Amino acid sequence: MSNRRLDPFRWPALGFAAYLLVQAASAAALFALKLGGGAAGVRAFYLGAPERFTSAKSLAGLLEVAVPHLVAVPLVLFAAIHVVGFARKLSRRVFVALVALSFASAFAATASGFAVRWVSPAFAWLKVLSFAGLEVALVSWAALLLAVFLSRSHPVRRAAAATPVEEIVR
Amino acid sequence: MRFLVLPKAVGRARPPVRIFLAFAALALVALAAQRVLSGGLSPAEIEAHYLGAGGGEALPAAALWEEVHAGAFVYGFVLFMLGSLAALCPLSAKARGALVAASFVATMADLFAPFAIVGLGRGGALRVATFVLATVSVAALLAVVAVSFGRGAGHAHGDHEDRRAQAQPDEAGPERAGGMGERRLPSAKQEGSRALPHTHV
């Protein structure tokens, strides 16, 4: 079975997948350059490091980063999930797990910065793990978009074919 | 996506699409104005910004990546939306593909041109070129979509089917629209009669 109705959206979807990869790559570069890539670097970034002459982050500084991300990340995830869900390339269980990983990581990555600064430095590990989870999710959605739209005719899972898309996404 | 893959529903998607296009056009104009006002059309000013004025320090890598990170969201999302809407425009697949591909290549080049400037120690003209190409190609894509969705009904694929389906809502069956098992979205007429069950008799 094939889903030919997705064919006209091939080029926009492939472009979107490429931009997802650029977002993931640039986020990784920024994480490595600004936060050092590990828990110690994360603690130093949020709590300040006298040896680097940096001070602890202010609430205004954290919000300046968090607010655009709270809009952009869910919007990008929603768009990617919506298209992949429509194509029904994954089993329901894997799809739901990847959706959960994506949004949970996005939330934890944003919240953990505040937690490191005002609750406990131990949350630095949560920041590292949630960032890694979000990176895995972004790359996975991009890969799925590429898999769906690079195949000549888009295969649809037999079991899912009779199920309306909203029941899969739910 | 559902509106886009069920062409019979395109008539009802038209008003929000028009509003989206108006905001996308405003964003494009504002972005272009912002870049022009900060010296985006002057190779010398661009080089001074990235390489440091008067022998100053070049922008650090983190600043360049931040620019890429923010731009990838804006360009990626707008192109995805415009490219998907363009699929409903009365254009050949080849022309549509070329327009989307040109926008994609130009915007990607615009995002990464600063790395070339810092790497080469010059190349402000390259960023001017990528800026102009990106703006023009995205504007062209937006214009194509706006022409189709801005005119009255009948200029985007699916408009004729939409009118026919609304005139004869029961002809194709109430629940099935295609081979994948989607339930057809109710027409405005059907939605209205469902919302006011006792007043339409």
Residues of A in contact with B1 (CB under 8 A): 9, 82-83, 86
Confidence of residue A164 (pLDDT cuts 50, 70, 90): very low
What confidence tens digit (pLDDT) does each residue in B112-146 have? 999 999 999 989 999 999 999 999 999 999 999 99
Q: Does A50 touch chain B if contact means CB atoms closer than 8 Å? A: no
Q: A42: pLDDT confidence band, cut at 50, 70 and 90?
A: very high
Give bridge partners of residue B183 from the DSSP assignment.
B176
Contacts of B2 in chain A (CB under 8 A): 86, 165
- Cα–Cα distance measured from residue B111 to residue B75, given in angstroms and rounded to the nearest whole number: 9
Chain A window 139-168: which residues touch B at a Cβ cutoff of 8 Å?
A: 156, 161-165
How far is the alpha carbon of B66 from chain A, nearest alpha carbon, in Å?
7
Instruction: Say yes or no: B158 contacts chain A, CB-CB below 8 A.
Output: no
Q: Are B108 and B25 spatial neighbours (Cβ–Cβ below 8 Å)?
A: no
- Residue to test with chain B: of A22, A34, A83, A89, most B Cβ within 10 A: A22
Is the model's pLDDT at B99 over the cut of 70?
Answer: yes
Partner-chain residue, chosen from A19, A76, A161, that has the shortest CB–CB distance to B75: A19
Q: Which residues of B97-126 are buried (b: 16+ CB within 10 A; e: fewer)?
A: bebbebbbebbbbbbebbbebbeeeebbeb
Structure tokens at A29: 């570069």
- A148, A87 contact by CB (below 8 A): yes
A3 min Cα distance to partner chain B (Å): 8
**ipTM reported for the complex, 2 dp:** 0.83
CB contacts, 8 Å: B4 with chain A: 9
How distant is the alpha carbon of residue B41 from its chain centre? 24
Q: In 3D, which of A74, A71, A84, A78 has the Cα closest to residue A142?
A: A84
Report CB contact under 8 Å: A19, B80: yes
> A164 or A34: which carries more pLDDT confidence?
A34
Report CB contact under 8 Å: A22, B76: yes
DSSP letter at B197 equals T
What mean pLDDT is predicted for residues B37-62? Answer: 89
CA atoms of A102 and A81, how far apart (whole Å): 10
Residue whose pair of structure tokens reads 């192109």 in the numeric block:
B79
B98 touches chain A (CB under 8 A): no
Distance CA A21, CA B109 (A): 15
* Interchain pair B82, A12: CB under 8 A: yes
The pLDDT value given to residue A100? 97
Distance CA A53, CA A74 (A): 35
Is the four-CA dihedral B49, B51, B53, B59 of positive or negative sign? Answer: positive
Task: State the CB neighbour count (10 A cutoff) for residue A166.
Answer: 11
A103's tokens: 């949004």
Full-model pTM: 0.79
What integer pLDDT is reported at residue B195 of this predicted model? 36
Average pLDDT of the segment spanning A24-31: 97
* pLDDT computed for residue A81 by the predictor: 94
Q: Could you read off the pLDDT of A126-160 as tens digits, one per residue? A: 999 999 999 999 999 999 999 999 886 544 444 44
Predicted pLDDT of residue B184: 40
| Nearest beta carbon to residue A26 from set B5, B69, B178 | B69
Identify the pLDDT of residue B13.
Answer: 74
- Averaged confidence pLDDT in chain A: 87
CA distance A145 to chain B (A): 12
Cβ atoms of B107 and B138 closer than 8 Å: yes
CB of A169 within 8 Å of a chain B CB? The answer is: no
Partners of residue B161 in chain A, C-beta under 8 Å: none
User: What pLDDT, on a 0 to 100 scale, did the predictor assign at position B172?
Assistant: 39
pLDDT average, residue stretch A106-118: 96
* Lowest pLDDT segment from A47-56, A134-143, B76-85: A47-56
Residue A163 CB coordination number (10 Å) = 15
> Are the C-beta atoms of residues A168 and A92 closer than 8 Å to each other?
yes
Per-residue 3-state assignment (H helix, E strand, C coil) for B114-152? HHHHHHHCCCHHHHHHHHHHHHHHHHHHHHHHHHHHHCC
Nearest to B182 among A6, A83, A165 (CB): A165
* Distance of alpha carbon B71 from alpha carbon B25, whole angstroms: 16
User: What is d(CA A123, CA A133) in angstroms, rounded to the nearest whole number?
Assistant: 15
Q: Alpha-carbon torsion B52, B55, B57, B61, what sign?
A: positive
CA distances from A163 to A158, B154, B183 (A): 10, 32, 10
Which residues fall within 8 angstroms of residue B138, CB to CB, at 6 or more apart?
B28, B75, B78, B79, B82, B103, B106, B107
B92 and A CB contact within 8 Å: no
Least confident of A118-127, B27-36, B77-86, B165-174: B165-174
- Indicate the SS3 state at residue A151: coil
